[in-house]
Each structure stands twice: as structure tokens, then as C-alpha cells.
A and B are shown apart, each in its own frame.
Chain A
């Protein structure tokens, strides 16, 4: 099952008496990278969780092509890769074991070679059998990124993917994301780093107090435009 477009239509999400998202409408197409900016608590993680089908909207719809989370079911989930703030890796297991588990869970043929390739890209081959609990934050982040992308998803959702990464890793990850976009994935990422947004994203949207504003991601003056959008 594949889809060309992710569409949020007037999505609202409440948590008890707190409104995390307020009539958010957003459309992303294949081969596009959208940066999601905004202050902490603005609802970015909630939006990503809804896109990942982990949460459902209180009102409004989310469509993947012409399907919803309900009609898409497991086949849809197989096309989504999600790097959350909590990294979704088991600290007691080794890097290789973590990847192998998720590879098998996704029913990937030839799990071992997939795992080897992923470890290579993350630069963790020499630490492959060490338990993740002994990894630094940056190493865990690299592993978590590979875990999210292991099954070659169509929709890639990344919550602050560059946290804890050194320059080399940032460059490698940037290249990876560019390659994903070139291959026709829909990439939606949140970040605080405006430089990355300028260099990488096609579009930038700002979530502030649950509301969404689009700003022009290219060219200088991004910081100023962002500040304006975030404070409105």
C-alpha cells in the first residue's frame, strides 16, 4: 500500500482541558520535506503522534492518500517510520539485537543484511553487540534513526532527529534525509535548528499554541519570520 499525500484537515486534539492542536490543516506530498517548528509545548509531538496513528484526533481527519488510519490498518503502519522523543529502543539489548527484533517484527526478508547495513550507516558496527544502556545520547539517537527507517517507510516522521549528534553525524543524517526525499518519501520533521531548516526543508510550518502557520523556509531572514510566526 502506498500513498502520495498526507493530509491533515482541521485536526483538533484535546487532552482533558488542554487543547494541544487547534484546527490544524496541513498537506505534504511525496518527495517533500516539511520542517515543523515551534516553541516547546506547542503541540509538535502531538501532531507527529497523530500522523503516526498512535493518537486519533478529537475532531478533523487525517488522510494517507485516500485512506485513514482506520481503513489503512496494519498495511498503513508498515509504511510509516516514526522517530519519537522516546527513542523506542530497548536499553538492555544490544544495538544489533534491537534492530534485528524490529526488522523481524516488520517481517523484513533477509533481516540480517538489513541490520548490518543499518549499523553501518549509523556508524555503530564496532559497538553492535554492546548493550544500548552503555551508549551515549548521540549513539542512541543514531541507532533510533536507523530503527525508524529500517523498513523503508513512505512517511518518515522525526521528532528532533539531530539532538545529541556531533557534526559528522549531523552531516550524515542530513544526507540520509535528502536521499529519502529524493526517493519520494514524505518527510515531516521537528527541529529547533533553523540552519537545518534553511538548508534542508522545502517548507517550514510553525506550530504555536496549537495553531499552524506556514512561513517561507528559504532565503535569509528565516529567524525573523519564525519569531514573528511563533509569537502570533
Chain B
């Protein structure tokens, strides 16, 4: 990872620099015009959020099963990614909705699911921060339960919404948009990989400093 780090950073920077160009050149969506373009950053944010959530859950399972501290670093990173990129999604979502459909919030499936998952991982971080020593293991339990909850929230909100009328219609992608969309997704996912690498390394260094501090105390 060390050797790939610099080239990857440059690549991600370049992709994000180029993305606005691609987005500006992408065709307008028929009803929402310019506003719709927020979607190119909004949806990839969700991709990263859910990837972070599953990373946290997977790493938590390993942590509980094997007690590996490294797994715990990955779990924490996954949760932080979920919260940060989830927040981005939760902010860009209402902005888009307000301009496009006149409402700030809609209780549709995706938004509600995203909100619940986001809250779960905020709780995860709160537990780690305020739960005192030993809360890593407890938080691992929360991470696993949070991820297991995702299908249930999806189905329950989905059924809930089908009984009430739907007012949001997520547009289908026209060919010109598809390229831009997947470019942005790739940019975000690579950014995520970069952040995971940096964050896990930071956690490892922090743990190392703690160990040295403890050893030095003698």
C-alpha cells in the first residue's frame, strides 16, 4: 500500500478535478435540469456510506471472533466513513429534493434507510467515544447488529411506503449520463480506499504510541 499511496492520491485528485468537467458536459435531465447534477456526487456518497457500514460490520465480526486489534481499526474506520459520507448524502439529498420537488424531506425507502443506518453508526461512534475503556468490543456488537438491520429497515419502510402514495421518482439514466455517473462512483470508491488506508494507518500509529507510552512508564 505504501508504494501505491502517492499514485493513488494523484489519480483520485485528478478524477475529482476532472469530474466537474464531465458533469457540466453531461446531458441535462429532462425535468430537473441543472439541479439533477447534484446526483453525481449524492449517489456515490451513499455507495461509500454503505460500503463503510459493511466494512465496519465485517471487521467487527473478525474482531469479536479473533480479538485482532487490526480488525478493530478497520471497524472504526468503516464507521467513520459511514457517518461522514452519510452526512454528505443527507445534506445533498434534501438540497436536491427541495429544488426538484419542493420538499426538504421525503419518507421514501432510500432516504429513511440511509437515515437509520447513519444514526446507527453515529451511535457506534458515540459509544466508542463515551463508553470508557473496553467499549471497542461493545461497539463491535453494535456494528454487526446495525448491518444486519439493513434488510429489515429496507423491507419495513418499503412496505410502509407502498401503502402510501409515492411522490419521488428516481430518474432512469440516459446513456450520456451513465459514463459520468460511473466515473464519479469510481472516484468516490477510490477516495474511500485512500481514506481507509490513511485512517487505518493513523489508528495503528496511535495504538503504537499508546504502547510505547505504556512501556515508557516503567
Contacts and interface: CB of A to CB of B under 8 A. Distances in A.
Interface stretch (B11-19, B186-194, B210-218): B210-218
Contacts of A14: 214
A2 B132 CA distance: 37
Interface in A14-35: 14-17, 19, 22
A19 B133 contact: no
Nearest to B134: A15
B133 A22 contact: no
A57 B20 CA distance: 53
A17 B213 CA distance: 8
Interface string A193-214: 0000000000000000001000
B205 to A, nearest CB: 15
Contacts of B217: 19
Nearest to A19: B214
Contacts of A22: 218
Contacts of A17: 210, 213-214
A15 B133 contact: yes
Contacts of A15: 133-134
A141 to B, nearest CB: 28
A14 B217 CA distance: 12
B218 A16 contact: no
A63 B218 CA distance: 26
Nearest to A15: B133
Contacts of A211: 218
A192 to B, nearest CB: 25
Contacts of B133: 15-16
Interface string B200-212: 0000000000100
Interface string A208-232: 0001000000000000000000000
A3 B213 CA distance: 37
Contacts of B134: 15
Nearest to A55: B134
A204 B210 CA distance: 32
Nearest to A16: B133
Nearest to B135: A16
A80 to B, nearest CB: 22
B67 to A, nearest CB: 8
Nearest to A12: B214
Contacts of B213: 17
Nearest to A17: B210
Nearest to B209: A17
Nearest to B132: A16
Interface string B106-133: 0000000000000000000000000011
A211 B134 CA distance: 22
Contacts of B218: 22, 211
A17 B214 CA distance: 7
A211 B210 CA distance: 19
A214 B146 CA distance: 49
Nearest to A59: B211
A33 to B, nearest CB: 29
A12 B217 CA distance: 13
Contacts of A16: 132-133, 210
Nearest to B218: A22
B130 to A, nearest CB: 13
A14 B214 CA distance: 8
A220 B214 CA distance: 37
Contacts of B132: 16
A13 to B, nearest CB: 11
Interface of A: 14-17, 19, 22, 211
13 contacts: A14-B214, A15-B133, A15-B134, A16-B132, A16-B133, A16-B210, A17-B210, A17-B213, A17-B214, A19-B214, A19-B217, A22-B218, A211-B218
Which 9 interchain pairs have the tightest Cβ spacing? Answer: A16-B133, A19-B214, A15-B133, A14-B214, A17-B210, A19-B217, A22-B218, A17-B213, A17-B214
Given A17-B210, A211-B218, 11 more contacts: A14-B214, A15-B133, A15-B134, A16-B132, A16-B133, A16-B210, A17-B213, A17-B214, A19-B214, A19-B217, A22-B218
